[in-house]
Structure 1
Amino acid sequence: MGIFHDLRGSSRTAIMVAVAAATVGIIYGYDSSNIGGALDFIAKDFHITSEADKGLLVSYVIFGEIAGALSGGWLANRFGRKRIMVLVAGTFALFSLLSALAWSVPSLAIARILLGVTVGISIVVVPMFVAESSPTKIRGALLVLYQVATVFGIICGYLVAWALAPTGNWRIMLGAAAIPGILITLALMRAPDTPRWYMMKGRREDAAKVLARIDPDADVHAELDSMEADHAEAEADRAKGTSTFKQMVSKPYLRATVFVVLLGFAVQITGINAIVYYSPQIIKAMGFSEQDTMAIFGLPALIQFIGLIAVFVSMAVVDRMGRRPVLLTGIGIMIAASLVLIFTFGVGAAGQTDPTNIHLSGVFVALGFLGLVMFTVGFTFGFGALVWVYAGETFPSHLRGAGSSTMLTSDLVANYIVGVAFLPLLKVLGGGGVFAVLGGFAVLAFLFVWKFAPETKGRPLDDIRIFWENGGKWPSDYDPTHGGTAVPEPRGPVGGH
């Protein structure tokens, strides 16, 4: 396939740096799924009975993630992308062990919040690091690697829960996350920081060395001059008293800010983490008993494995098809999946009064599983892969940290809403009602992306600002390979595509 040819033709340093950074996604994914596997065992030990309290327990980590996402951009600019990622991986290992040692709900909540801070920082810093360390032609694919690592972590979390389910040992389920945290810390310590961060700190020689290693075909001096000009412009704005916040809520970047806030919110409000956090509960709601651990934990792992295949497909096509077609295709699959699940629970569970204790017949169990697979595949192919691409690409370097923080904070706010509300809604509305709500959000997300998402395929990272400075469309005479010569730009159904 074309992606593998592009990867073979790219700098080994660029690929190794991006892979090392993307592996941080493993800890994010593992944490997302292992709490779902451990939830019932924790609830039994700590005598948690209400669905709302279970949802709150799952969501404690999101409080920390929001705090981490808000501070991640500033930390990355102040101390460097690499240093912060090393700190994230190391403290993740520490707080995972603290979670395993919890002696009460409050102590577990504190550990989960601290764990969330590290995860929140990571989901801001990793896309910045990878975007700034990738050659243009494979930047999208390398950003999608973060989602590959995240889904792999989710699968590992479910498999560990499956293996430990007979013992009910939730402490090992949570504490095992320290292992990838330690390994990733060691892998990251050998990576260099990004050329753009070195330029922000006036270290042009270091930036030149890293850029030459990452992209041997690049015009190093021209690219560094462009970064230097961008940084000088940012410094001039600061000297005038123009804060980062003011730049983001003023033209030309107000449009970009609104776009990332709404896109980040749409990624999670459509409900993927309801599937990740609560797959064991959803599987039980389809009629499986608590004793059937192979179904309760094995089926979610299988669903995520199929989703992982979809991420690899997305990775292979994102730099060829483009960002918009991949994203719209993924959301379309999620809408279709919602319809399947609405039918499954609405018809298959008709007349059953307790929506959390239903019994589906064989054909409806199969349809339910198909719907969950389609929902996960649609997400991992589209939103799951592209959220990291747009987080890393949308803003120029002097606003990239703040822009990523803004987008992913919005993402996490929606994640919190879903995490807290899903189980109570499942009890009140049943599976059909819940997926009708999520499907409605997916339809709105599809329309939003169709209207406003830019196509950044093949655009040099520092040129993407042109899209926003030109009112949300690419100039008709802009040519990314010829410095702006008059080459007509093909346009989609909405300006700027």
Structure 2
Amino acid sequence: MPELTAQRPRDARTAGRHPRQLYAVAAVSALGGLLFGYDTGIISGALLHLREDLHLSSRAQEVVVSVILVGAMVGALWSGRLAVRHGRRRVVQWVAVVFAAGALASAVAPDTGALIAARFVLGLAVGGASNMVPVYIAEVAPAAIRGRLMVLFQLMVAIGQLVSYLCGWLLTEHGGWRVMFALAVIPAAVLAVGMMRLPESPRWLVERGDAESARAVLTRLRPVGADVDAEIAGISEVSAPAGDRRALRQRWIRPALLVAVGIAAFSQLTGINAMVYYAPTILADAGFGDSVALLTGVGIGLMLVVAGVTGAIAVDALGRRRTILWFVPLSGLAMAVLGAAFLGGGAQAPKPLVIVALFAYILCNGIGIQSVVWLIAPEVLPLSVRGPATSLATLGVWGFDLLIAVTALSAIGAIGRSGTFFVYAAMNVLCVVFVALKVPETRGRSLEDIEKALRTPGSFRRNLSAAASD
């Protein structure tokens, strides 16, 4: 086992405190989120000159943007399968290596075909990181602070996107996009080295029959005096043979799959990545000017970071379900205002109103659903199939993200900016309805308690609510 699993001295000064190593585990692994955010966001600034340097049409731009999402779908599926056999930690290490390789290949790409291939490789890493990092953090974190540690991943995604926007603004000259792509090698190397010193998921170890190693990990990552044996017993109670996928076809797991895949779908259908990928392009084409468009992109990045910090607080203070129900309606309202602002066409759109509505949308959507999307699936899906089942949810994120990426500019061409934004606003309304009817509150519940509520006959949401009130 890595050195982090060594026994920790016990004394009164540390009793009841969550050890620093627990936060180190979450912080290092969440670097995968930084890479995820940077590599998906950097195309926004790079595209303004990339489309000129490589003479890309609108359709070619959509392919360059969206091919990373195709790779992410493949990476999400394979990472789940690999994690069942090799463990969560090792898969995250491999993801870091693929990130570095894809970033270098993108930076030196001589033509459109090579760039598309390189971004597909980056997509494999993005899919693997978005699938495995939340699972890894969920399985090492105690229930009391699991939400904030997991939302750290989404916060790092937002920080990565902000950094990508800043790089896009600073490296605006022709050819600067190559440097933008190459910079991702640095955090990839840090992630690969950092993961070498982190422990394996204790839940994966129990599932593999290695309870003693799991106990050593939990002893190191829990407060002094915590009942580690009781946690091991709870994990063992719901554990099944590693790699048993039969539960994916069983009726009892369907409510959790519906919740996980539904939240994954609405996280994209509500329009967030249409703005992340194309906002500078949309604003520049609407007459805002390249400089204003790029600075607006930096503002979007700042809003995502603010949303990440606020969401990290909200998911534990308000709960996952209430966070969505409070903020997504505001997100839909802001998107509707954005649509109304463009009713007269781009040239007539009031620029201050457009920018304020855009920032309000990014903030509310970021808090309301982006802070929950990577949190909910690892929480509600059962241990025995958490790897492959989370892969399906992550596949849903990237599949619907791909749908948005390949249709956003075409939709604007077909029904205009207003029509496209009104469609996204309607998706926010449908998201609220879905959450109100189907999504349970998981705040403060152990993963094992959540699974027991899922196995109990009846409504998953009501079962978990009743268990919380007992």
CA drift at 1:40: 2.8
**What is the distance in 1 between the residues matched to 2:212 and 2:304?**
42
**AA aligned opposite 1:378:** C
Aligned to 1:91: 98
CA drift at 1:476: 8.5
Q: Does 1:199 align with 2:206?
A: yes
Match of 1:156 among 150, 163, 178: 163
**What is the distance in 1 between the residues matched to 2:420 and 2:157?**
25
CA contact (8 A) 1:67 1:117 kept: yes
CA contact (8 A) 2:30 2:152 kept: yes
**What is the distance in 1 between the residues matched to 2:91 and 2:37?**
19
**What is the distance in 2 between the residues matched to 1:255 and 1:476?**
12
Q: After superposition, where does 1:96-495 map in structure 2 within 5 Å?
A: 96-216=103-223, 217-231=225-239, 233-234=240-241, 244=245, 246-290=246-290, 293=291, 295-347=292-344, 349=345, 358-360=346-348, 364-470=350-456, 471=458, 472-475=460-463, 479=467, 488-489=469-470
CA drift at 1:137: 0.6
Q: After superposition, where does 1:13-92 map in structure 2 within 5 Å?
A: 13-49=21-57, 51-92=58-99
Q: Which is worse superposed, 468-477 or 386-395?
A: 468-477
CA drift at 1:390: 0.4
**What is the distance in 2 between the residues matched to 1:476 and 1:261?**
19
Secondary structure of the structure 2 residue equivalent to 1:454: coil
TM-score by length of structure 2 reads 0.92
**AA aligned opposite 2:52:** K
**What is the distance in 1 between the residues matched to 2:61 and 2:20?**
45
Secondary structure of the structure 1 residue equivalent to 2:316: coil
Aligned to 1:5: none
CA drift at 1:168: 4.1
**What is the distance in 2 between the residues matched to 1:142 and 1:367?**
35
CA drift at 1:478: 5.7
**What is the distance in 1 between the residues matched to 2:207 and 2:228?**
16
Percent of residue pairs identical = 31
**What is the distance in 1 between the residues matched to 2:39 and 2:101?**
13
Secondary structure of the structure 2 residue equivalent to 1:359: coil
Flag structure 1 segments of 5+ consecutive residues without an equivalent: 1-7, 350-357, 481-487, 490-497
CA contact (8 A) 2:165 2:301 kept: no
**What is the distance in 1 between the residues matched to 2:119 and 2:300?**
26
Over residues 8-56 of structure 1, what are the superposed CA-to-partner deviations in whole Å (9 max), with x where a residue is unaligned?
942212111111111210001001111111113222222212x122111
Over residues 301-321 of structure 1, what are the superposed CA-to-partner deviations in whole Å (9 max), with x where a residue is unaligned?
122212311221221131121
Secondary structure of the structure 2 residue equivalent to 1:252: helix
**AA aligned opposite 1:14:** L
CA contact (8 A) 1:329 1:378 kept: no
Aligned to 1:495: none
CA drift at 1:475: 4.0
Flag structure 2 segments of 5+ consecutive residues without an equivalent: 1-15
Over residues 406-449 of structure 1, what are the superposed CA-to-partner deviations in whole Å (9 max), with x where a residue is unaligned?
11101111000100000111122222111011111111111001
Aligned-CA RMSD value? 1.8
- Structure number with higher helix proportion: 2
**What is the distance in 2 between the residues matched to 1:39 and 1:359?**
22
**What is the distance in 2 between the residues matched to 1:285 and 1:43?**
13
Secondary structure of the structure 1 residue equivalent to 2:288: coil
CA drift at 1:373: 0.7
Over residues 34-92 of structure 1, what are the superposed CA-to-partner deviations in whole Å (9 max), with x where a residue is unaligned?
1111113222222212x122111110111100001111211112111111111111220
TM-score by length of structure 1 reads 0.87
**What is the distance in 2 between the residues matched to 1:307 and 1:277?**
13
Aligned to 2:10: none
**AA aligned opposite 2:284:** K
CA contact (8 A) 1:14 1:135 kept: no
CA drift at 1:254: 1.4
CA drift at 1:380: 1.4
Q: How many residues align?
A: 452
CA contact (8 A) 1:265 1:411 kept: yes
**What is the distance in 1 between the residues matched to 2:455 and 2:299?**
45
Secondary structure of the structure 2 residue equivalent to 1:165: coil
CA contact (8 A) 1:147 1:380 kept: no
Over residues 204-243 of structure 1, what are the superposed CA-to-partner deviations in whole Å (9 max), with x where a residue is unaligned?
2211111111112532112112222322x446xx8xxxx5
CA drift at 1:477: 9.8
Over residues 360-395 of structure 1, what are the superposed CA-to-partner deviations in whole Å (9 max), with x where a residue is unaligned?
46xx11111111111111121021110111022011
Q: Which is worse superposed, 332-341 or 214-223?
A: 214-223
Aligned to 2:4: none
